Structure 1
């Protein structure tokens, strides 16, 4: 007896569901698990865990923050790049900061702890801190000396044109002293928390300042990675930190540089990406070679 033309499509769909459930829901995952158990692949499949005296202390694939409880960098360790994943390098909250190059104006509130820094101010603050930590010039273009974005809201008589009538340093809250005293002959005033000077008609005007064209602090020291989990920094950022780490550990800088070289990976397939230094494995090697007293 032929099936009803209404029932036949449903039975065909049910058969397809069962077949694909077995293939894609059972066979395929089990095959991948079996491949992950092959010698040479099993370590990476388990997360490339790093163990010290039998205890897991991290993963070669996930970065860590080498700071104290207050978030202050520990000077005897190489520092990782910033992370926007949760509170930092949280695998359950992997994410980028989702801020772009147009994020240059902070949201200032009466309570500084509740203010929201722009990407520019975050970069400026990190560069200033990194410069102070490693004893180099932390200045960057479009940054003030106190580590915020050097951005003015410029008001003109006719909106976009005409003489300047008012200028506000939008990222420096009163009673701060503006990073420039005047703009086109008009005194610069600090920002008042809670005021949106851009919505009020101010033209956003970043100011380069007197920073060098090529900052001493590399870009990866002041910007987070896309995943927030990358354990690598650039060789340039690692070289910047060698003198401090060697001094703090009482080690020969040449030997510390050798450790950096040993933990530097090249481009994938010889041409993809950039060389990187794995900070997690490097710091573990430091503890083995130059233990703290």
Structure 2
């Protein structure tokens, strides 16, 4: 004699069976299968986060996440290749990955008021200009680039016209150069250029970036002055590595040829020979430097 459960208990029993089967498959079988697959030679390192070790065998980070090669005050350690800038937290913070969210129209600074520099905010243009100036001083090259002043801020004028946006020029202000700094231009269209007064409203002015006479192709590469979208990219361009190479050789007291060989060994080409650009992994390169040319003071601070 067949006995059938009432409709309501039968539905709940079926649901319980489905949950039990899915729990076993997705909570036990699948994780165990993925763990087993991760142990396959060639995959195990990536499954563990592409961890890398230092010359002394200690864990030195991940080949996928960049690091800042600076001292406790944030100054570049001259014996190391420098990474590109990072907007992730205080720099290469894997818990705060992100971009600066500033675009090509970010050319006017918010000048700090009083003695508190945190009340100001640099535009993307000024960030690029100041970084180019700093890199140039470190590497001993010309850091000039279009739309930048000689003192490392965006060359941006606020032009006041008699008719609002047209007509005769009545006043010109160098928006990113706070008084009493001398403006990068003396006159613009026959009108004297003023330095900017922090806190003063220049919203009625027409913003005019000035290209200047800098070369179209600056000596300091673009990746040396801009951050990646994630803020964690451990790569720099071969051009930026080449720019730093003389300093590294000088600081380590070795022939530049040996350093260049290490750079070549840590340079990857385009994916499938087509996608992307050649890149140099700075983290792995600096570890290779310490292995090949150890220095007693080769200790870095930072992310």
Deviation of 1:63 after TM superposition, in Å, equals 0.8
Higher RCO structure, 1 or 2 (CA under 8 Å, sep 6+): 2
Change (3 A) 1:98 1:17: farther
1:260 alignment partner, SS class = helix
Deviation of 1:34 after TM superposition, in Å, equals 2.6
Deviation of 1:31 after TM superposition, in Å, equals 3.0
Is 1:271 matched with 2:277? no
Deviation of 1:193 after TM superposition, in Å, equals 1.1
The equivalent residue for 1:3 is 7
Structure 2 unaligned runs (5+)?
Answer: 297-303
The equivalent residue for 1:287 is 290
The equivalent residue for 2:126 is 121
Q: 2:216 aligns with which of 213, 216, 230?
A: 213
TM-score in terms of structure 1 length: 0.92
The equivalent residue for 1:94 is 97
Write the deviation string for residues 71-102 of structure 1: whole angstroms up to 9, x where unpaired: 11111111100111111111111111111111
In 2, the alpha carbon distance for the partners of 1:242 and 1:39 equals: 35
**Equivalence map 1:1-293=2 (5 Å):** 3=7, 20=22, 22-52=24-54, 53-110=56-113, 111-198=116-203, 201-292=204-295
Structure 1 unaligned runs (5+)?
Answer: none
TM-score in terms of structure 2 length: 0.89
Aligned-residue Cα RMSD (Å) equals 2.1
Change (3 A) 1:167 1:35: same
In 1, the alpha carbon distance for the partners of 2:179 and 2:22 equals: 65
Change (3 A) 1:18 1:117: farther
1:187 alignment partner, SS class = strand
Change (3 A) 1:10 1:74: same
1:229 alignment partner, SS class = coil
Deviation of 1:32 after TM superposition, in Å, equals 2.6
In 1, the alpha carbon distance for the partners of 2:194 and 2:260 equals: 47
In 2, the alpha carbon distance for the partners of 1:209 and 1:20 equals: 66
Deviation of 1:64 after TM superposition, in Å, equals 0.8
